[in-house]
Each structure stands twice: as structure tokens, then as C-alpha cells.
A = this chain, B = another copy of it.
Amino acid sequence: MTKTNGRRLRGERARAEILTRSARIASIDGLEGLSIGRVAAEAGVGKGNIQVLFGDKESLQLATLEKAVELFHATVIFPAMNKKTALAKLLALVEGWFDFVERRTLPGGCFVNAVSSEYRARQGRIHDRIVEHRVATRERYRRLITDAKSTGELRADVDVEQLVFDLVANEAVANVAALMEESEEFERARSTSLGRIRESIPLPKRKRPQVPRRSSKGRAKDLSS
């Protein structure tokens, strides 16, 4: 390994360690609660180090946001997306979100939900990046629901936008409830989200009233066999 590579590697490790700490701080106190001085003190390094590694406060805040999103990707999204079907992915994503918050993977729960509230009425780069993450979250749900409809895992008459909205609304209320120790509210959010998905699943064919249909030969065959 060359000298330069070694230095870069050490820099990357230091950066990652500092961001792990800053993400934990900001998940509780908000991205506005981050200051170079505070992060330096809690990470046990000099303020100069933080400045060399991140530049100004806003860059530290942006890097912290990305670190927190990365953690959610690794813990929840990546394993969910490895499931086989669109419905399995969707369920794993929803369950994964509630588990992530319940287990305090970050002490303040879901980072994007928290900073969405913090930056809802502010302008600037941080606000804009949060909006992008919000859009991506909804788009992920939208795509999975649409896919699950097209494969028949979800009913054809499911209102995609309404289901996306319901899932996102339940997460918004649950992220506050979890930390406020309103566990009943948190559990209701989880069961409401899973319930909305479950009621969108077509009933199994066998449970339908066994009236023979004349129009479909295939169907008649099934029933007679």
C-alpha cells in the first residue's frame, strides 16, 4: 500500500467514525443541533480535524444526512429489496421501517422524518436534499405497489397514491409516537400500515363462492378437477 493510499484510508475511517457520532447526535437534537465544536468534543478529536475532513458546518450536516440515509439503506432497504416478489419487498420495507425505529438503530428514530419536520420551513441545500429523499421514499413504495398490482399480488383496484400516502402518514406519526413513548400509537401505526396492505391482497381463489363460470373454459376445468 502506498503512503497516499494509507493516508486516504485513515481519513475515510476517521470520517466514517465521526459521521456515525454526528448522525446519532442529530437524530435527537436535529441537524441544527450539530456544530463542529460539539461533534469534535464528542468524537474526541480537534475542531481542526473536523474542518479538514468536512469543511464548513453545512457540509458536515449534509454528510451526516447522507450517513443516516446510508444506515437505513443498509439495515432496511437493501435486505427488503432482496426479497423475491414486489409484495414481499413492500412488506419487508414497511416492517423494516418500524423495526428500525423500535430498536433505536438511531436514537432519534427515522432520520428523514425528523429532519423533514425540522427543515420543513427553511430554505437551502439541506432542505432540498431532504425533499429528494422524501420523493425517493414515496417513489419506492409507489413502484412496489404498482409492480405488485401488475403481478396480481395486490388487487387491480388498489388506489396506488392513497396507499403510498397512508404508509407515509403512518410513519410520520409513528416516528414521534415511538420517541414520545406512546407505544399504543406506535403499534397502531404499524398495524394500520400492514392492515392497509393486507386488505389490498386478493382473497385466495378457493375461498370465493364456488359458482361455476360459463365464460372461462380454464376456470371450469379448475372447478371440475
Using a CB–CB distance below 8 Å, which chain A residues touch chain B? 27-30, 32-33, 107-109, 113-114, 116-118, 120-122, 131, 134, 161-162, 165-166, 168-170, 172-173, 175-176, 178-180, 182, 185, 188-189, 192
Q: Report the copy number of this chain in the oligomer.
A: 2
By DSSP majority rule, is chain A's interface helix, strand, loop, or mixed? Answer: helix
Nearest to A177 among chain B residues (CB) is B120
Asked if A118 contacts B121 (CB within 8 A), the reply is: no
Q: Please, which residues of chain B bring their CB within 8 A of the CB of A107?
A: 121
Nearest to A120 among chain B residues (CB) is B179
CA distance A169 to B169 in the complex (A): 6
A165 touches which one: B134, B175, B176, B185 (CB < 8 A)? B185
Q: Which of A176, A179, A192 has the most CB of B within 10 A?
A: A176
CA distance A12 to B78 in the complex (A): 57
Nearest to A195 among chain B residues (CB) is B162
Asked if B169 contacts A122 (CB within 8 A), the reply is: no
Asked if B30 contacts A176 (CB within 8 A), the reply is: no
Asked if B180 contacts A172 (CB within 8 A), the reply is: no
The smallest beta-carbon distance between A35 and chain B, in angstroms, is 13
Q: Please, which residues of chain B bring their CB within 8 A of the CB of A161?
A: 188
Asked if B32 contacts A180 (CB within 8 A), the reply is: no
Nearest to A106 among chain B residues (CB) is B121
The smallest beta-carbon distance between A50 and chain B, in angstroms, is 22
The smallest beta-carbon distance between A36 and chain B, in angstroms, is 18
Asked if A116 contacts B30 (CB within 8 A), the reply is: no
Q: Please, which residues of chain B bring their CB within 8 A of the CB of A116?
A: 176, 180
CA distance A178 to B120 in the complex (A): 8
Q: Which of A33, A166, A169, A178 has the most CB of B within 10 A?
A: A169
Q: Please, which residues of chain B bring their CB within 8 A of the CB of A29?
A: 32, 122
Given contacts A117-B117, A173-B168, contact A122 B28 (CB under 8 A): yes
